[in-house]
Copies of this chain bind each other. A is one copy, B any other.
Amino acid sequence: MGNWTFVRAVRVACFPTGGGRAFLFSTRLCYTLVAYSDKPGAQHRDGLSSVGRRAPPVLGPLVWRRMMRAVDLIIKKRDGGILSAAEIDYFCQSYTRGDIPDYQAAAWAMAVLLKGMTRQETIDLTLSMAASGETLDLHDVAPVVVDKHSTGGVGDKTTIAVAPLVAACGLPVGKMSGRGLGFSGGTLDKLEAIPGYETVLSIEQFKAQLGQVGVVVAGQSGDLAPADAKLYALRDVTGTVPSLPLIASSIMSKKIAAGADAIVLDVKTGTGAFMKTLDEARALARIMVDIGQGLGRQVSAVISDMNQPLGRAVGNALEVIEAVDTLRGKGPADFCQHCMVVAEQMLVLGDPSLDLASARSLLRDALESGRALDKLMAWISAQGGDITVLGDPPALRRAPLVRSVPAPRSGIVRAIDAMEVGLAAVELGAGRARKGDPIDHSVGVVLHAKVGEEVRAGDPLLTIHASDGDKLAAARRRLLAAYAWSEGDVEPPPLVYEVIC
């Protein structure tokens, strides 16, 4: 029968079949019965089980299939074919192991970008990438764990306020977060503005803190979804980034591997977001919700505005201060409202018996009682952060130059180009032009007037926190140019366009 081989075995049970041998592959995510031979011309058969975190391993019907070759799967997708779960898993796992070279994965990714993937293919790819490395099971420390993910924007410090707010209502929040790149900031960078905050946790530390404190926000473990990390790096240099199925499976594979039961997606749309139009954002939200639900998770997506920055602060330490202020009841109205929408969704997903009104009332109580602020302090403290600075904003606001910029004219703010504000922050040193660049946590900008607000010439429009005069002058020019003005009334953009679930 030739030599027997197999693609992937996490836990293996081996038993004889009619003509050869079969392996029962079992991970937390899926169960697969696979039996095949590497003899040329031989065939293998496999049956994917019903898939789902808690589903029992119900074996599907066995299907005979020819031995796979990467080039045939590229050709199938190139010609508009639909790849089976087994084909996608073969491609994904072989690529991760290095058995399929980058050039074949690049041709495949371009074919996927130009020919698309069905809902089921996208789910299968997500599952395969999630299963390509370690997968977390958090149920020994919490019965239900909720996560949130933002597609990235300017001034988006939502996690820092929302995670303790939701945890204060009794729902544990365990989140693995990322770094900022380009105009879009990253939660880890913001949290690192707090002296001592440790973003690198072992999985044991992550779980222990989740169980004891109820909130943990750490960097993503390199052991989670390595297929995604490898494929993403390749897509970045082969022009294959803007594919909805590839973007959606990239995001969701990490979330699935990180073990959350419920996930709220904050999909940004507008000039300061990756999805420029509402239609694009809606399509991405829809496929991500489909993926999560297809894999047995509770998922909803909030489509929120990113035409102007969220809140008033942009820059790492400044955003931490704004998030803490929000938990003290002194945050900007738009940011507070956005946090409530996201937090409500998290609570409702975590406890389906709850309705939105009850969720909101629980959240108000957590906020007004100070329990949310206490939870923030407990969380930051558990991760080694110096919480004394959180009660003393000047200790965080440490940029050498702080300048107020007066409004150049009277009028109503018609628009603030979020992308330009984000790029001004990058130029000040608050963000990265390239992966791995160092960042300055102290610099940034506070916007005193947002869209729809009236300003008189000479009133303070912005406060810029900078490390030197040249950068300050450049940011000042860019920020003033980002403002558009109107003589008459302006309706501010909606905070949230819709919720998809």
Residues of A within 8 A of B (CB): 70-72, 74-75, 78, 101-107, 109-111, 113-115, 234, 237-240
Contact = CB atoms under 8 A, between A and B. Distances in A.
The 9 closest A-B pairs by CB, nearest first: A74-B239, A107-B238, A110-B110, A102-B103, A103-B106, A75-B239, A106-B107, A106-B106, A107-B110
Contact of A107 (B70, B71, B107): B107
A293 B70 CA distance: 38
A237 B78 contact: no
Contacts of A101: 102-103
23 contacts: A71-B239, A72-B239, A74-B110, A74-B239, A78-B110, A78-B239, A78-B240, A101-B102, A101-B103, A102-B102, A102-B103, A103-B105, A103-B106, A103-B238, A104-B237, A106-B106, A106-B107, A107-B109, A107-B110, A107-B239, A107-B240, A110-B114, A114-B114
A237 B106 CA distance: 12
A238 B104 contact: yes
B113 A78 contact: yes
Contacts of A72: 239
A197 to B, nearest CB: 34
Nearest to A69: B237
Contacts of A114: 78, 110-111, 114-115
Name which of A105, A115, A240 has the most chain B CB atoms within 10 A of its CB.
A240
A370 to B, nearest CB: 50
A329 to B, nearest CB: 47
Nearest to A114: B114
Given A70-B237, A101-B103, 4 more contacts: A75-B239, A78-B113, A78-B239, A107-B110
Contacts of A237: 70-71, 103-104
A101 to B, nearest CB: 8
Contacts of A113: 78
| Most-contacted residue by chain B among A101, A107, A115, A234 (CB, 10 A) | A107
This chain's copy number in the assembly: 2
Given A102-B102, A102-B103, A106-B103, A111 B74 contact: no
Contacts of A70: 237
Contacts of A238: 71, 74, 103-104, 106-107
A15 to B, nearest CB: 36
Nearest to A102: B103
A424 B175 CA distance: 62
Contacts of A234: 103
Nearest to A238: B107
Residue among A72, A78, A101, A110 with most chain B CB within 10 A: A110
Contacts of A75: 239
Nearest to A234: B103
Given A103-B106, A104-B106, A234-B103, A111 B78 contact: no
A111 B239 contact: yes
A138 B74 CA distance: 42
Nearest to A235: B107
A316 to B, nearest CB: 26
Nearest to A104: B238
A327 to B, nearest CB: 42
Nearest to A111: B110
Contacts of A105: 103
Nearest to A110: B110
Contacts of A109: 107
A491 to B, nearest CB: 35
A11 to B, nearest CB: 34
A60 to B, nearest CB: 29
Considering residues A70, A71, A104, A106, which has the most beta carbons from chain B within 10 angstroms of its beta carbon? A106
A234 B114 CA distance: 20
A420 to B, nearest CB: 19
A315 to B, nearest CB: 25
A80 to B, nearest CB: 10
Contacts of A240: 78, 107
Nearest to A112: B110
A74 to B, nearest CB: 4
Nearest to A237: B71
A240 B70 CA distance: 13
Contacts of A103: 101-103, 105-106, 234, 237-238
Contacts of A239: 71-72, 74-75, 78, 107, 111
A81 to B, nearest CB: 11
A433 to B, nearest CB: 11
Contacts of A115: 114
A96 to B, nearest CB: 15
A116 B196 CA distance: 55
A234 B101 CA distance: 11
